[in-house]
Amino acid sequence: MKLKKALTAGVVAGAVSLAIAGANDAKAEKHETEKCFGIVKAGYNDCAAADKSHSCMGQAAEDGNPHEWVAVPVGLCEKLVGGTLAAGEGADEKASCDSKSSCQGKEDHEG
């Protein structure tokens, strides 16, 4: 009887260890992202607008603006209603947060 309990405890402990290790591996993986334009809710953009109307996170003035973007996992953007990988007309798609941006990392969302 003691052997059966010991074996059961060992199997359970092994399963828990494997589950924890698997969860840590999944968290450690870096997922690729892409800019998705046209799906941002006002105040929740990731950084600079492609039309250069602002250069900070959280400053989108309207929902669904084709110049505002948010990072999403690769392949998701085009599955979302209104989502596109290209910014609206007259945009500079290279606009983004860089190390010189005075508002990079701004986390307070208004709206």
**109 pLDDT band (50/70/90 cuts)?**
very low
Q: Are residues 20 and 56 both part of a single domain?
A: no
For the chain, what is the mean pLDDT?
A: 75
Q: Are residues 35 and 86 both part of a single domain?
A: yes
Task: State how many domains the chain has.
Answer: 2
Show the domain range for 22: 1-30
Q: Are residues 76 and 46 both part of a single domain?
A: yes
Chain mean position to CA 84: 16
Q: Are residues 69 and 37 both part of a single domain?
A: yes
Q: Are residues 70 and 17 both part of a single domain?
A: no
Q: What is the pLDDT of residues 71-96, one digit of tens each?
A: 999 999 999 999 999 988 767 655 55
pTM exceeding 0.85? no
Q: Are residues 60 and 12 both part of a single domain?
A: no
Provide DSSP, 53-69: S--STT---STT-TT-E
Domain-embedded: residue 105: no
| Higher per-residue confidence, 65 vs 100 | 65
What pLDDT is attached to residue 30? 75
In angstroms, what CA-CA distances link 26 with 7, 12, 29, 32, 75?
29, 21, 5, 13, 19
